């Protein structure tokens, strides 16, 4: 496994708080340096508590949220008000409480009928908002937040799915047979251009996946999270003791 920082905390609360504090640090640095901060939010359940910490005064007041652009790492094929929507979870726990303007929020429209078109459109939005040429040279997010499934998937990069092999596009529609679904996801190559990538993983159910990804042999088709190692960026794992219980380190 390429270079990464591993932070282990007693439980989910401490882990989510630490990730929220690190989010604030990276956001402040980016805004000070270039006047903006572009982040791709993670879906699933784990990040909700982290997002709630960000809305609490002690952290909320440290960031000029008007300078933050919100993207997603992946999205399910459901409308924005659906219980399974990653967009809805972030709206409820982070964006609405912070009063973020719609002009700063870029939803992945995985509920569109033509999901390949939706993926291309999202890539165009990223290119436009990250202010880079059509070739996208150098275009990158400041931070990508990721979770980890117990099958070692991350974003919607599931084992043995086509998106794992994508080397050109930044966003793709990825068929996930085990879920009998198609999801939109950022690709490994685009995630790996980010300045920072945070994995936030808690709970006993993830222990084997964490152990295999970080300390097992390299097998990216079976362990997609092993594809994530930002070329020039920082990779940081925020893990609680339960999820890290299988690690030798
Ligand atoms: C999603 C996420 C996915 C998630 C993991 C962990 O859309 O589901 O992007 O990659 O991070 O499945 O999910 P939990 O946090 O719910 O365990």
Evaluate if pTM is beyond 0.85.
yes
Could you tell me if residue 152 is left (phi over 0), alpha (psi between -120 and 50 degrees) or otherwise beta?
left
pLDDT at 133 over 60: no
Tell me how far the alpha carbon of residue 152 lies from the centroid of ligand 1, in angstroms: 10
Q: What is the mean pLDDT of the chain?
A: 96
Please name which of 199, 163, 245, 173 lies closest in space to residue 50, comparing C-alpha atoms: 199
Tell me how far the alpha carbon of residue 43 lies from the centroid of ligand 1, in angstroms: 5
CA atoms within 13 A on the CB side of 86: 30
Q: Is 101 helix (H, G, I), strand (E, B) or coil?
A: coil
Contact assessment for residue 141 and residue 40, using Cβ atoms and an 8 Å cutoff:
yes
Q: What is the mean pLDDT of residues 110-125?
A: 98
Tell me how far the alpha carbon of residue 42 lies from the centroid of ligand 1, in angstroms: 7
Q: What is the mean pLDDT of residues 160-171?
A: 97
Percent of the chain with pLDDT over 90: 95
Tell me which residue has its CA closest to atom 13 in ligand 1: 44
Please identify, by atom number, the ligand 1 atom nearest to the C-alpha of residue 206: 17
Residue written as token pair 């490994």: 188
Tell me how far the alpha carbon of residue 38 lies from the centroid of ligand 1, in angstroms: 20
Encode pLDDT of 10-52 as tens digits.
999 999 999 999 999 999 999 999 999 999 999 999 999 999 9
Encode pLDDT of 188-216 as tens digits.
999 999 999 999 999 999 999 999 999 99
Provide the pLDDT for residue 137.
63
Contact assessment for residue 171 and residue 123, using Cβ atoms and an 8 Å cutoff:
yes
Contact assessment for residue 214 and residue 102, using Cβ atoms and an 8 Å cutoff:
no
Tell me which residue has its CA closest to atom 3 in ligand 1: 155
pLDDT band at 108 (very low <50, low <70, confident <90, very high): very high
pLDDT at 182 over 90: yes
Tell me how far the alpha carbon of residue 32 lies from the centroid of ligand 1, in angstroms: 31
Tell me how far the alpha carbon of residue 93 lies from the centroid of ligand 1, in angstroms: 16
Provide the pLDDT for residue 135.
53
Sign of CA dihedral 43, 47, 50, 52: positive
Please identify, by atom number, the ligand 1 atom nearest to the C-alpha of residue 73: 9
Alpha helices, DSSP H only, in the chain?
12-34, 47-55, 57-60, 86-90, 96-98, 115-129, 188-191, 207-215
pLDDT band at 249 (very low <50, low <70, confident <90, very high): confident
Percent of the chain with pLDDT over 70: 97
Measured between alpha carbons, how far is 91 from 25 in angstroms, rounded to an integer? 22
List, chain by chain if needed, residues with CB within 6 Å of any ligand 1 atom. 42-46, 73-74, 86, 147-149, 153-156
Q: Which of 42, 88, 110, 184 has the most ligand 1 atoms within 8 A of CB, as the residue to mutate?
A: 42
pLDDT band at 131 (very low <50, low <70, confident <90, very high): confident
Tell me which residue has its CA closest to atom 7 in ligand 1: 43
Q: Which of 16, 44, 187 has the most ligand 1 atoms within 8 A of CB, as the residue to mutate?
A: 44
Provide the pLDDT for residue 139.
72
Please identify, by atom number, the ligand 1 atom nearest to the C-alpha of residue 203: 17
Measured between alpha carbons, how far is 187 from 161 in angstroms, rounded to an integer? 11
Q: What is the mean pLDDT of residues 207-226?
A: 98
Provide the pLDDT for residue 187.
98
């Amino acid at each position: 496994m390429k270079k990464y920082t591993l932070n282990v905390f007693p439980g989910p609360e401490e882990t989510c708080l630490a990730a929220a504090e690190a989010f604030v640090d990276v956001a402040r640095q980016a805004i000070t340096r270039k006047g903006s901060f572009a982040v791709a939010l993670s879906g699933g359940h784990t990040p909700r508590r982290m997002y709630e910490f960000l809305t609490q005064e002690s952290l909320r007041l440290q960031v000029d949220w008007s300078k933050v652009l919100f993207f997603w790492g992946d999205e399910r094929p459901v409308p924005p008000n659906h219980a399974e929507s990653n967009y809805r979870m972030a709206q409820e726990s982070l964006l609405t409480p912070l009063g973020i303007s719609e002009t700063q929020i870029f939803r992945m429209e995985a509920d569109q009928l033509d999901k390949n078109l939706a993926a291309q459109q999202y890539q165009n939005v990223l290119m436009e908002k990250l202010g880079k040429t059509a070739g996208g040279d150098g275009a990158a997010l400041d931070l990508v937040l990721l979770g980890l499934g117990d099958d070692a998937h991350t974003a919607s990069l599931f084992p043995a799915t086509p998106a794992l092999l994508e080397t050109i596009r930044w966003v793709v529609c990825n068929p996930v047979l085990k879920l009998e679904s198609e999801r939109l996801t950022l690709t490994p190559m685009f995630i790996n251009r980010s300045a920072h990538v945070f994995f936030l993983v808690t709970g006993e159910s993830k222990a084997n996946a964490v152990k295999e990804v970080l300390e097992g042999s390299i097998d990216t088709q079976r362990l997609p999270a092993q594809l994530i190692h930002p070329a020039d960026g920082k990779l940081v794992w925020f893990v609680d003791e339960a999820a890290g219980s299988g690690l030798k380190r």
